[in-house]
Structure 1
Amino acid sequence: MGQLFALIMLWGIHYSITKYQFLSIPSSLITNELFKELTGMAVLADTKGNIIKANRQICTFLNYDEDKIVGVNITDIIDHEGIGMTVKNCEHLNNPVRFSDVTVSFKSGQAIPFKITVIPLHPISNITTGLLVIGENKMIEEILKQKNESISELNKELMAVNEILKNKSIRDGLTNFYNHQYINELLEIKLAEAAETKENLCVLMMDIDNFKRVNDRFGHLTGDRVIIEVANLIRQNIRSSDYAGRYGGEEFIAVLPYTSLEYASQIAERIRSSIQNYDFGIKGLRVTISIGAAQFDDRLPDSLVNMADMLLYQAKYNGRNRVENILAETRV
């Protein structure tokens, strides 16, 4: 990014020279500080290719003192036929010339590929009075590309980890259903949508019957297995557009958007029937569930859940292993 900024500044210098029609290349404009900050190659030369100013990094690479490089011909640094011809014919040069693969040999013996751009400076009309030679170290560019790719991969990994952490924070560890807090937050959102669109929304509150007896008779490991299997059966009987949560212990909730009470009751009955008929593979273990189904009609989230909860306990009172439903009345 720094190199790009510097290049933009150099182009600005070229524009300034052209715009204001200076009679010669103003060395005060091309400041020492600017050149010191540039990476790669930045060289200001006259029309014969003799260097007027060079950045610190290229001086270091070439093993020149900053003042000793002045007067050295650019073609002595860059042995490239195309660049030599460009310098030779620079008086007729109107536009920048780019060379994508130029080898620059340093005094250390190291040869490094550069991208070179030769920019003609035109302070008076179309007459070239100087050259700006900018070079990008392709090795550094490749290293930066690899680092950027590594950073990109790291970002993807971090996003994946964040997604995992997010899921852990909103999911129940045993059933992978949404947890109590998140399903309530989700319900609030869906209630707001239903209130705005005037679409139906139903909630099912479900509770495994006599679950304490399961734990007492068969142990807590079997109890956990029952909760997992019941959650799976609930999942199989709701739609992909519905949302299921573990409300606590052996109690579950399902949020059914765009669903009438009649159809919600059919879904609830499928859930109840599938659990009643499910074989857990344990002799003497029979599991049933009671369900309360309520439909939203311009109510607050806790009111709808409370109504479904009341219907659930009505199902318990009426003998368990059943579905109870009623349309929640509009609050006046």
Structure 2
Amino acid sequence: MSWQALLKKGWWIINHPFERQDPRYWRIRLMQSLLLILQLYSGIFVILNLTLFGYYTVAAANLAVFGVILGIQTDLRRNLNLERSANWLTGTIIVFMVIYVALTQGRNYAFIWLSMVPTIAFFLLGIRRGLQVTVPFLLLTIGYIVWSANAWPSYAINLPAFFNISCALFAVLTIARHYEKSRAEAYAFLEERNGELQRIAITDGLTQLHNRSHLDAVLDSEVQRAQRHNTELSVLILDTDHFKVLNDSYGHLVGDQVLIELSELLREKIRATDILGRWGGEEFMIIAPNTDAEGAVELAEKIRTATAKHRFTDEHLHLTISVGVAELNEQDTLISIVRRADEGLYQAKHDGRDCTRLGKTYTKV
């Protein structure tokens, strides 16, 4: 078994039902890592203080912390009470730090471990409660150090001191790195979810094409751009022929599948610069920038012919479409060009369906 697999099955893993979008997911991940780090540190210092440094009282305090941390982890795994576990964990660390500094009397620069308290308090309790805990703690510990420092012997930078400073700073760095990693993952998830919501907002649920509101926005922008730069623009409105008969004969589920397949067919036949969307019901719109009426009719005929040849769904259904086309004129607006394309569609229906017709030329009233 690889070390990655072992990490995923370790005793520190806390199973929970929270999804990534739930803030509790990130909080419990942070607590899980903190509990592991503190168990490892306290366990290592029990051994070092007993065997290398000879600080038996401090080793006993380390052992007590190890036991309390293990108890907090067990309670969190069983009950998933994040608030209680956060309070207990923060309180345990604060009490131990006070006892540790008092026992060592500043020996080996032990007070460097006090730097962990604000980091952990803010991460576990949040900004407001973290301040409420951290400010009194720092004021009291700084006051205690100032009051007691004159009675403490002076110490040089020796191996235990170097070990204390290095480990304390590394612990802060490790916790901060994990918190930043969790924050970055949460931010990336929110970005992903925001992008998904934006996509949903402009997408038709059935066909996955642009929806009506997005088509309105795009067409308005394209009309303004074409008029500003004096370029060509055409609009095509496509409607299925006798779709109600198909729905009545085969059911709405088959009808939906036909619309999905028709959407895929339209995607394949349009050009890279064209904008395709579901206009409503069984109607589709294609916005064709830099395209005059002749080019738009050619595109419409290509799509119409391909649709007539295609056989839809497992029923091998035959379907035709009618198309209305309008080219942008100087005095056109979004509403007028759509109206003229719709008039072309109406004329195509009137002329027997399965054909393409141009809408009337715009006439200012």
The two structures have a TM-score, normalised by structure 2, of: 0.57
Contact 1:78 1:104 in 2 (8 A): no
**Inter-CA distance 281–147: structure 2 relative to 1 (3 Å threshold):** closer
Residue aligning to 2:358? 325
C-alpha distance in structure 2 between counterparts of 1:280 and 1:197, whole Å: 41
Contact 1:79 1:104 in 2 (8 A): no
Contact 2:234 2:293 in 1 (8 A): yes
C-alpha distance in structure 2 between counterparts of 1:267 and 1:77, whole Å: 85
Residue aligning to 1:68? 148
How much does 1:65 deviate?
Answer: 3.3
Q: 1:259-274, aligned counterparts within 5 Å?
A: 259-274=291-306
Cα displacement string for residues 219-251 of structure 1 (whole angstroms, at most 9, x for unaligned residues): 111111111111111111112221111111111
The two structures have a TM-score, normalised by structure 1, of: 0.63
Corresponding letter in the other structure for 2:256: D
Corresponding letter in the other structure for 1:188: D
Match 1:181 to one of 194, 204, 213: 213
RMSD (CA atoms) = 3.0
C-alpha distance in structure 1 between counterparts of 2:156 and 2:179, whole Å: 30
Residue aligning to 2:86? none
**Inter-CA distance 241–270: structure 2 relative to 1 (3 Å threshold):** same
More helix by share: 2
Q: 1:1-332, aligned counterparts within 5 Å?
A: 40=115, 60=141, 65-70=145-150, 76=155, 78-79=157-158, 102-104=162-164, 112-113=166-167, 137-280=169-312, 285-298=317-330, 299-326=332-359, 328-329=361-362, 331=364
Corresponding letter in the other structure for 1:245: G
How much does 1:142 deviate?
Answer: 2.2
Q: Percent same amino acid among aligned pairs?
A: 32
More strand by share: 1
**Aligned partner of residue 149 in structure 2, secondary structure:** coil
C-alpha distance in structure 2 between counterparts of 1:291 and 1:258, whole Å: 19
How much does 1:327 deviate?
Answer: 7.2
**Inter-CA distance 331–113: structure 2 relative to 1 (3 Å threshold):** farther
Cα displacement string for residues 74-104 of structure 1 (whole angstroms, at most 9, x for unaligned residues): x7164379x9xxxxxxxxxxxxxxxxxx433
How much does 1:257 deviate?
Answer: 1.4
C-alpha distance in structure 2 between counterparts of 1:199 and 1:140, whole Å: 61
**Aligned partner of residue 161 in structure 1, secondary structure:** helix
Contact 2:211 2:277 in 1 (8 A): yes
Structure number, greater radius of gyration:
1
Deviating runs (4+, > 6 A) in structure 1? Answer: none
Gaps of 5+ in 1: 1-38, 42-55, 84-101, 106-111, 115-136
Corresponding letter in the other structure for 1:146: H
Gaps of 5+ in 2: 1-113, 117-136
C-alpha distance in structure 2 between counterparts of 1:218 and 1:155, whole Å: 47
